[in-house]
């Protein structure tokens, strides 16, 4: 893998040895330099297919790096990533994000969890979708002839959540199961290494006020569009303040609530027209997610403080706030 022309073999190599750990503190006393660029995908193609999760009946989009046969012979495996959709957003609206993240070296599954909620039938996810999707890709990886046969590292899981899926991801990493979409108790999978949230927060549902505290058990990145007029960046920052370490906050300058999706305004509530082109926004959000996961899923959580050295990207597209 290359990062602005420099090989990141040290980071990738550590993925075979490191165990997850929460960061102990910054390695840089102040953010002083811009990162030349975000890491770019290092696989040229993906294997992408539609399937159905056996345990839940949920349709799902699965995408993984397309690799030479030697990878499987050498036993090279990739972490699994479950993507939790926003409310009223179809799973296929994340296909460009999923395929680019897969090209970074992840096996990505995007379930489409359809239920009746609030008098309407549509995509509304919950924390249990994570376990169902994770178990499914592990099973698929063990099936001879499967498109992802032998590709999934069953010991490494990451979760990405958007909007409602972002709030659900925060619930999951905090071991919460909150009504009205979840009932009972919830414990995240032991294999969970890190999560990333785009356009999400933990503001209480009216008439309650304030924000729900999350004692996250794994490194948590909050990635937010500067022009999000649906889930405000102020609410994201308030949520972030309540998280435990390790955590990082990234602002993508010029994207809105739907910056992670194939097109703007694919959900039930329209947002402003973003100043950054959709394709550039998807790339910036995906590559920021990959950076965080490369450090905390492949490399181990002790590498997370490396992001404390940088102010953001040199092109100004992404700002590393905290």
In this structure, is residue 39 part of a structural domain?
A: yes
In this structure, is residue 6 part of a structural domain?
A: no
Half-sphere exposure of residue 308: CA atoms within 13 angstroms, side-chain side: 15
Q: What angle do CA 288, 291, 296 make, to 5 degrees?
A: 125
Q: Where are the beta strands (DSSP E) in 143-265?
A: 152-162, 192-198, 220-225, 247-252
User: What are the structure tokens assigned to 132, written together?
Assistant: 């169902």
Spatial CA neighbour of 260 closest among 95, 125, 126: 95
Contact predicate 132/105, CB 8 Å: no
In this structure, is residue 2 part of a structural domain?
A: no
3-state secondary structure (DSSP) of residue 143: coil
What CATH number does residue 184 fall under?
3.40.50.1820
Work out how many domains the chain is built from and give that number. 1
In this structure, is residue 128 part of a structural domain?
A: yes
Residue 82: predicted pLDDT: 98
Q: What angle do CA 113, 109, 172 make, to 5 degrees?
A: 65
Q: Radius of gyration (Cα) for the chain, nearest Å?
A: 18
In this structure, is residue 296 part of a structural domain?
A: yes
In this structure, is residue 8 part of a structural domain?
A: no
Question: What's the residue count for the chain?
Answer: 322
pLDDT along the chain (322 residues), means of 10: 32 30 56 90 97 97 96 94 97 98 98 88 94 98 96 98 97 94 94 98 89 95 98 97 93 98 95 97 98 90 72 95 88
3-state secondary structure (DSSP) of residue 308: helix
Contact predicate 220/173, CB 8 Å: yes
Q: What is the pairing mode between strands 120-123 and 114-117?
A: antiparallel
| CB environment 288-300: b (16+ within 10 A), e (fewer) | bbbbbbbbbbbbb
Residue 23: predicted pLDDT: 44
In this structure, is residue 5 part of a structural domain?
A: no
Answer whether 0.95 is exceeded by the pTM: no
The conformation of residue 211, written as its DSSP 8-state character, comes to B
Q: Report the C-alpha gap between 282 and 264 in whole angstroms.
A: 11
In this structure, is residue 3 part of a structural domain?
A: no
Spatial CA neighbour of 248 closest among 219, 225, 274: 219
User: What are the structure tokens assigned to 129, written together?
Assistant: 């979708």
Domain with 152, as residue range(s), is 17-320
CA 227 to chain centre: 20
Contact predicate 214/176, CB 8 Å: yes
């Amino acid at each position: 893998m290359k990062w602005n022309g420099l090989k990141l073999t040290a980071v990738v190599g550590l993925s075979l040895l490191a165990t997850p750990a929460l960061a102990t503190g910054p390695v840089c006393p102040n953010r002083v330099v811009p990162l030349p660029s975000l890491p770019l995908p290092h696989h040229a193609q993906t294997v992408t297919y539609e399937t159905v999760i056996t345990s839940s009946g949920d349709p799902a989009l699965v995408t993984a790096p397309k690799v030479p046969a030697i990878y499987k012979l050498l036993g090279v495996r990739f972490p699994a990533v479950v993507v939790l959709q926003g409310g009223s957003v179809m799973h296929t609206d994340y296909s460009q994000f999923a395929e680019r993240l897969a090209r970074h070296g992840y096996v990505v599954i995007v379930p489409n969890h359809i239920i009746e909620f609030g008098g309407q039938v549509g995509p509304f996810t919950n924390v249990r979708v994570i376990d169902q999707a994770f178990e499914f890709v592990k099973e698929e990886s063990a099936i001879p002839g499967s498109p992802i046969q032998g590709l999934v590292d069953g010991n490494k899981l990451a979760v990405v959540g958007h909007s409602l899926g972002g709030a659900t991801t925060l619930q999951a990493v905090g071991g919460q199961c909150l009504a009205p979409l979840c009932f009972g108790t919830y414990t995240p999978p032991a294999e969970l290494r890190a999560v990333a949230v785009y356009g999400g927060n933990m503001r209480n549902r009216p008439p309650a006020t304030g924000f729900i505290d999350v004692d996250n058990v794994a490194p948590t990145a909050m990635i937010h569009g500067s022009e999000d007029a649906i889930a405000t960046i102020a609410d994201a920052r308030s949520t972030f303040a309540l998280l435990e370490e390790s955590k990082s906050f990234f602002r993508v300058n010029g994207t809105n609530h739907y910056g992670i999706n194939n097109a703007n305004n694919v959900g039930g509530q329209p947002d402003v027209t973003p100043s950054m082109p959709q394709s550039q926004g998807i790339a910036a959000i995906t590559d920021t997610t990959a950076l965080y996961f490369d450090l905390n899923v492949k490399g181990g959580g002790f590498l997370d403080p490396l992001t404390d050295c940088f102010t953001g990207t040199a092109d100004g597209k992404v700002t590393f706030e905290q």
